[in-house]
């Protein structure tokens, strides 16, 4: 949501009753006030946040497991910067309309928990391309998803785009933006094992 302010004097002469303005302002501000503050970020295991390998592996480790197996959501929370986002993207219709969601860490935990309660889910990285500029790190992490860890073939593949921050003492996940492979959008060779 964005709030655009009119230039000074723009409302001069407007016939808007004060009660309407107060009511409109209350409607705009109420959702923000009603939101609970995010929980404090738990302290991480230092080994989880010391390298790109470690933090990416920790994310995959937390989300993978058998149906009903408790996930260590505090460990998951400890990997993410305050305000971090998880953004899945995919096609909504056969016509090719794209649809995406933007979840905070708590939104993701809520949505994933119900699915993980009922379904086995194991995801692992099969290849990664990492680029770094100063404190900014981008990791293209190609994944395979399986219902059982020993399944010979994945039911899905795709790319998790990790945006990471190195603050000098640890790494933080700032966002994970991902898309699954599908008809008409195969994973490019450079993001697959043995690629150029």
pLDDT in tens, 61-90: 999 999 999 999 999 999 999 999 999 987
Q: What is the mean pLDDT of the chain?
A: 84
Question: DSSP letter string over 24-76?
Answer: HHHHHHHHHHHSPPPPPPPPPPGGGGSSHHHHHHHHHHHH-B-TTPPP-HHHH
pLDDT in tens, 167-196: 999 999 999 999 999 888 899 999 999 987
DSSP 140: E
**Hey, which CATH number is domain 46-191, 1.10.3660.10, 3.40.50.970, 3.40.50.2300, 3.10.450.50?**
3.10.450.50
SS3 of residue 191 by DSSP? helix
Element (H, E) at 106: helix 105-118
* 6: pLDDT strictly greater than 80: no
The tokens of 5 are what?
């302010």
Alpha-carbon gap, residue 76 to 59, rounded angstroms: 7
pLDDT in tens, 129-159: 999 999 999 999 999 999 999 999 999 999 9
Confidence class for position 41, pLDDT limits 50, 70, 90: confident
The pTM of the full predicted model, rounded to 2 decimals, is 0.78
Task: With CA atoms as reference, report the closest residue to 61 among 72, 45, 46.
Answer: 72
């Amino acid at each position: 949501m964005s709030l655009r302010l009119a230039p000074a004097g723009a409302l001069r002469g407007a016939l808007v009753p004060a009660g309407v303005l107060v009511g409109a302002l209350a409607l705009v501000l109420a959702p923000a006030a009603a939101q609970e503050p995010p929980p404090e970020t738990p302290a991480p295991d230092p080994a989880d946040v010391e390298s790109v390998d470690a933090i990416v592996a920790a994310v995959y480790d937390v989300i993978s497991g058998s149906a009903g197996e408790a996930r260590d959501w505090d460990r998951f929370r400890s990997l993410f910067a305050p305000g971090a986002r998880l953004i899945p993207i995919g096609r909504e219709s056969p016509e090719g309309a794209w649809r995406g969601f933007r979840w905070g860490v708590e939104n993701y935990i809520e949505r994933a928990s119900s699915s993980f309660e009922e379904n086995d889910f194991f995801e692992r990285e099969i290849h990664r391309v990492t680029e770094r500029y100063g404190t900014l790190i981008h990791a293209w992490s190609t994944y395979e998803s399986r219902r059982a860890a020993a399944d010979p073939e994945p039911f899905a593949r795709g790319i998790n785009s990790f945006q990471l921050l190195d603050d000098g003492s640890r790494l933080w996940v700032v966002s994970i933006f991902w898309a699954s492979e599908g008809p008409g959008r195969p994973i490019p060779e450079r993001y697959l094992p043995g690629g150029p």
